[in-house]
Structure formats: C-alpha cells, structure tokens
Structure 1
C-alpha cells in the first residue's frame, strides 16, 4: 500500500521527481502515492473490485458463491420433496414435473406479459377476467422474453434469470458488508450472505420472481454509490426501477448519500446522473415511460396504481388503519387458517421493519433510513399489509447489521439459525405447494 511519501534509507538524500520513465515504473514520473481526485473511482468494470487487467474474484467471493450454490441445492431438494410429499391427489402414484412446483402466483403474471404483452387482443381493465397485469413493472418480463430467445422453455428461462441474478446480488451484498470493516479477513460479508440466503422468504430468490433481478441491479448500484461512482449508481438505479417500484426508494437513498458524502464542489457534474431516477420533481425514467405507455392504452394516468387497488387492495389507508385491518385478518377468524397465519407474519415483519428503521436513525445512517422508511410507508399504507415478508429480502442494511451483531455476540448466530432455518423450510414448502407465502 502506497504511503504519503516514498520510503528511503535515511542516508540517501531526497531527489526531486524526474519526468519520464523511472525506476518506479510510472511512465509519466508520478509517484505511486498520487491519488485521483475525489470521486474518480476508475472504470465501470471496477465495481466488484476488479483490477485493470480484468475481473477477478477473491477468496471471500468464491466462498460466497459456494454458499450460494449450496443453498440453491437445498432449495431444489426441498422442491423435489414437495412434489412427492404434497401432491394434490394424496393417492397419486406419480409426482409432478420437475418445474411444476415453481409455477406459482406472480410467475404467471410475468409469463403472460412476456408471452402476450400487457393488453393482448385489446383486452384491459374492465374486461371480464382481467388479471390486472399492468400492476407489474416491465423489467423482468422484458428480460424473460430476451432469455427465451436462447432458452425455449419459459420456466427454465425464468429460473435461470433468478439464479444468475442471485449470484450477482450475493457478491454485491458481501462487498457492501465488507465496506463496514477494516479487516480484510473479516467474515462479515459471508455472514451477511448466509443470513440473507436462509431468511424466511429466501425461496423467492430462486423462483421466477423479481427479487433476484432487482437486487442484482440495486445492490451494485448502492455499492457504486458507496465507492463514489455516481454515474454507474444512477444507471443501475434506473434499471432497477424498471424491475420494481422499489427502485425509486433506492434512488432516493443514493441521492441522500450523494448529499451526505460527496464534495459538491468537486462532483457537481455527477448530480445529473443521480437526478434522472431520484429527484422528486423528475420521476425516474422507467417509471415515467411505463406510466405513459399505460396511459396510451387505457387513458388512465394512474393505471398502475388502480391495478394495484383492484388486484391487491393497495388503495391508500392510514398506517393505523392498515395495522388494524391486518390484525383483524390475522386474529378474528375472518380468513382461512393459511391466510391468517401469513397475515400474522405480515404484522411481525412490519414490527421488524420499524425496529430496523429505528436502529438506522439512531446510528445516523440517513441514506439507508430513507430507503427503509419509504419501503415501510409504501407497504404500510394499503388496506392491509401484503408481501411485507418478501420485502425483507430487499432490506440489505438489516442483513449487514444482523451479521455484524452476530460477530460481536456469537449467540445471535445460533439463535438466528435455530429459529429461521425451520421457518424458511416451512415457507418454502408453502410456496412450492401453491399456498400464499407472503
């Protein structure tokens, strides 16, 4: 590591640097200690710590990928057992196909969009049997359609997208975690990935859902922002917004980090990259284009929001009304037991999210607090809570802080694994057998 002044034996006098090739190997005579101006972080492919000579994975990265592959084997083993143990007909002599367990819930919306588009044959809101597919952003269906050109089977294409995206996401998560420690040998990155991959709703990372693809864009965007590469952070945040509306929350967090960490006098030009997805006065480009597209086909500027309301009761209610309605669904026997227990999980997860927000505010982690607060506001102001447990997969600050806590208090790791591992298996079976898993 270069120091502020090159080291020399005491008896040698200091000589002024000479222009041209030197013994240090620097052709322009610059000393190794000279640094770039603040904010200059090298080429785009340096996001994951690659050297100029190419992309390299370190020992910790390889361990993270091994952990990822092993947990994928565990998830697929669970899917195999689910097909044999929980067939629709208890007297069946043959199990379903290998991919049958993965065709659940939101997957069908993404598949139909990729195959038919949003308004096939002029159908749309008001058409009998309409599935409100415009509630889903186009990023994942577009990628699915592109991969289908190479992979003919739609289900395999969807699972492959999630598999590759998940690998990128865990690498980025581990690197984000390692930014919080000075020790290069710290297991913090691997621990954060372990907790993340064993989280209760981790099965959604393997399914043909948006979580993996979103995280494969969002986490590198945050990593780029932390390293001062604002251009790359802005581009990735825009792409993430095309996958999920949560990309807008990410863009707001990146903007908050830019204001808090950047030297505006040196980096004022970089704000143009962050303004595209983040400034309140200028909606993110993917969201704006999608809104325009829906209006062109429905005549409704709020078509996305209205689809959310029709299909998932996501019309605005105050936070206390949303809590009350979810509580009633969970404990007043108005829902079947399967739905009731998931509403109970929604309540517990909302409390976890509020605790996370409180910890972030106490530690003055303002950008992460902005992201978490916006996420909780969006999830907590509907008629009742929906998909809050799944949203925990997107709360990367929680996995980093939980991992750091477990390193200081070893009992945290044991407690987490003993409680969460069985719960993750139960929710995986719930999802793979076609029941609502949050």
Structure 2
C-alpha cells in the first residue's frame, strides 16, 4: 500500500492542485461506504464518552458520602459551559451589569456563535445542557465527515479518511468535541470551508469561514489561510474576481467588536475580557514559555493544575513541530493557520487551552494518519499512548477538574 503524505511541491506549485487528485467522491453529497464507517465510529466513541460520564457520577461524586449521583447531564456542566449558558440565557450584559462590576465573569470573551445556536436549539430542547450536547453531537458528525474528505484530498489509500477521523476521536482532548463547547461547531464550519476552497468555491468558503468566525476567533486565522490559498492558486484575471469575498470573515468580528463598544465604550472589550479572566495580556513567547514551565514544574501550582500546564507545554511543542513540517513541505496556507493560532495562544502570560486547540489543527491528524498508514507500529504506538491520555482528560473534565 502506498502512502502520499502532504509532499513538498516546487515553489509556486503549493496549492495549484492537491498533492494527489481528489477522489471523485471527495465532495459527493451522498454518503460513501467509508463515510458510513466514519459515522459509525463517531457514534461508538460518543457512546464510550457518555458511558464514562455515567460512571463518573457514581464513582467520583463531589461528596464521597452522597447516596445521590446527581443529574445524568451534570458531568458536562463544567467550566466554559457556564459562560456559554449565561450568554445564551441572559445575554452579554444582563440587568446593566458588565466589566465595571468587580465580580464580573468576563463572558464577553466568548464569541456569540455558539450561544446563539444554543438559544435557538433551546426553543426545541427545553434542557439547556441537553441542547448544548445536541449541537456538539450534530456538529461533530458534520466535522468528522468533512475531515475524512479533506484527508482524501491528500491520502489516496483506502480508509485514509476513516484513519484520520479515528486519530482525532481518540486524541487526548476529544472529550471537548462531545461537551457543550464550541470546538465541534467550529470544525463543522471550518472544514467544509476548506473543502469549498479546494473546489474554488470562494463565496461558499468565505461564507462558511464567516460563520466559523462567529463561533471562535480562530475563524480569522482560517480566513487568513483561505486568503493565502486564494493568492497562491489564482492564475488569471477571472480567477481574481471572487477576491472581495475573502473580506467577509472579518465582518462578524467587526460587528461583535462594534456591539461590545456600544455597550462598554471599549473597542477592545473582547481582548480586555481575555486579559482579566485568563491572563491573556501580551508577553513575549519566551516569557510565556517560562511562566508556563514554572507553573508546570516549579511546585507553585497544585498537582492537578501543574499536570495541565505540562500538557500545555507538550501541545506547544507539537504545534511548533507541525508548523515547521508544514513550512518544510510548503503547505503555506495550513502553516499560516497553525502559526497564527500558536502566536495567539503562545504570547499571553502563560499557555491556556493549547491542548484543546489541537482538535482544530486538521493538518496534524492528516499527517499522523499518513504516518500510521505507512507504519503499523506507529499506529499501534499512537493508540497505546492516546487511549489512556484520552481517558485521563475525559475523567479530569467530567469530574470538574481543569482539563485545558
């Protein structure tokens, strides 16, 4: 079996065409046999996570003496979920409250896309947590199908899409694709946008990227990658005509900044909320690394937080290696997307949520799939390492501890 994995094209060739011609079913709306296998794998992993969540209620209660395990949905009501819920239920500035209050929760740090979707689904699903889980369930299914098709653009092997999805779904932070968080919804928009760009459907790609930007600021990094992909592939005057569409993803970010300014008088309210709540004030990359290292190994944090800071450091190393590999192979748009993400995450006081961000780095899962197809030993080693880490992260999150 031959494996072609994101080879290094000649200068100027990078995105003129995929590394290998896309299979004819790469964009077929109907589900192929592999697509059905991908969905089956997705549902099995969801069942595994829900089973874990059920067991957590009984085996790891907050009160060891309790006889009541609590709500079946309680394990998913953790950390950022509270911010999404507050925005969806009460808005950004309920009853005139805001960042001028000393006990403010800095909810404006979260883009409105997921809370808006949550509020819409809540009109049909009365339970807020169930509504959030349903969004992630459906969005995750769209995301894994799109990821499999992106993988097939680069890997000609039978089962390449299925292998790529498997690596993602068994990755250490996969629990966040099942929780009521924004990662699954972002991927459900970003990956189809990337597919549309490869088909040169720029209006569709820009529209999907704009929707992704309503969900996470990473949509702007995606927009930059799409713009670079467009510049590298537009060869004629006619090909440049869709260029104005590429400005569309900036519109949601501007509108959100305008809205926050209208309520707070601060055009940078989103960034200032990040600074207050998550220490995302600018620091040089080496300062951020040093502060994170001190938190990970300097015995200044409790062991649970120290372990998560160690995971942050490891995720940063993986991200830097991935960026370097993409640059070496002249995959400039993907390198820009990962590089901008790392810059944003790696220039605050310390690293926060980089392990979760790996879920959004689809080039990583495609490259790992290529390696695993080439070497069965690599595939075995990955699964043996990823499975326990995935379980540990799931248990950490579901029991209410910080999990990145």
TM-score by length of structure 1 reads 0.86
Q: 1:118 aligns with which of 92, 109, 114?
A: 92
Between the aligned partners of 1:264 and 1:143, the Cα distance in structure 2 is 39
The alignment partner of 1:97 has SS state of coil
Which residue is 1:101 aligned to?
75
Deviation of 1:129 after TM superposition, in Å, equals 1.4
Deviation of 1:88 after TM superposition, in Å, equals 1.1
Which residue is 1:271 aligned to?
243
Please tell me whether residue 294 in structure 1 is matched to residue 257 in structure 2. no
5 Å matches for 1:175-190? 175-183=149-157, 186-190=158-162
Between the aligned partners of 1:264 and 1:381, the Cα distance in structure 2 is 39
Which residue is 2:6 aligned to?
none
The alignment partner of 1:360 has SS state of helix
Which residue is 2:226 aligned to?
254
Q: Which of 209-218 and 268-277 deviates more? A: 268-277
Which residue is 1:397 aligned to?
363
Which residue is 2:292 aligned to?
326
C-alpha contact (below 8 Å) 1:169/1:215 kept by paired residues: yes
Deviation of 1:181 after TM superposition, in Å, equals 3.0
Deviation of 1:187 after TM superposition, in Å, equals 1.3
Between the aligned partners of 1:390 and 1:415, the Cα distance in structure 2 is 21
Please tell me whether residue 386 in structure 1 is matched to residue 386 in structure 2. no
Between the aligned partners of 2:270 and 2:203, the Cα distance in structure 1 is 29
C-alpha contact (below 8 Å) 1:357/1:369 kept by paired residues: yes
Please tell me whether residue 348 in structure 1 is matched to residue 314 in structure 2. yes
Please tell me whether residue 336 in structure 1 is matched to residue 302 in structure 2. yes
Between the aligned partners of 2:253 and 2:288, the Cα distance in structure 1 is 26
Q: Which of 266-275 and 111-120 deviates more? A: 266-275
Q: 1:73 aligns with which of 39, 42, 47?
A: 47
Deviation of 1:126 after TM superposition, in Å, equals 2.0
Which residue is 2:11 aligned to?
none
Deviation of 1:47 after TM superposition, in Å, equals 10
The alignment partner of 1:179 has SS state of helix
Q: 1:49 aligns with which of 7, 12, 27?
A: 27
Deviation of 1:292 after TM superposition, in Å, equals 0.3
Between the aligned partners of 2:317 and 2:77, the Cα distance in structure 1 is 31
Between the aligned partners of 2:363 and 2:280, the Cα distance in structure 1 is 26
Once the two structures are superposed, residues 288-313 of structure 1 have per-residue CA deviations (whole angstroms, 9 ceiling, x without a partner) of: 00000000000011100000000000
Please tell me whether residue 213 in structure 1 is matched to residue 185 in structure 2. yes
C-alpha contact (below 8 Å) 1:47/1:220 kept by paired residues: no
Which residue is 1:228 aligned to?
200
Higher relative contact order (CA 8 A, sep 6+): 2
Q: Which of 371-380 and 93-102 deviates more? A: 93-102
- For structure 2, the 5+ residue unaligned runs are 1-15, 18-23
Between the aligned partners of 1:326 and 1:146, the Cα distance in structure 2 is 38
C-alpha contact (below 8 Å) 1:329/1:335 kept by paired residues: yes
Between the aligned partners of 2:307 and 2:318, the Cα distance in structure 1 is 17
Deviation of 1:49 after TM superposition, in Å, equals 2.5
Which residue is 2:145 aligned to?
171
Deviation of 1:405 after TM superposition, in Å, equals 0.8
Please tell me whether residue 127 in structure 1 is matched to residue 101 in structure 2. yes
- For structure 1, the 5+ residue unaligned runs are 1-37, 40-45, 278-283
Which residue is 1:26 aligned to?
none
C-alpha contact (below 8 Å) 2:187/2:360 kept by paired residues: yes
C-alpha contact (below 8 Å) 1:210/1:244 kept by paired residues: yes
C-alpha contact (below 8 Å) 1:47/1:224 kept by paired residues: no
C-alpha contact (below 8 Å) 1:48/1:172 kept by paired residues: no
The alignment partner of 1:124 has SS state of coil
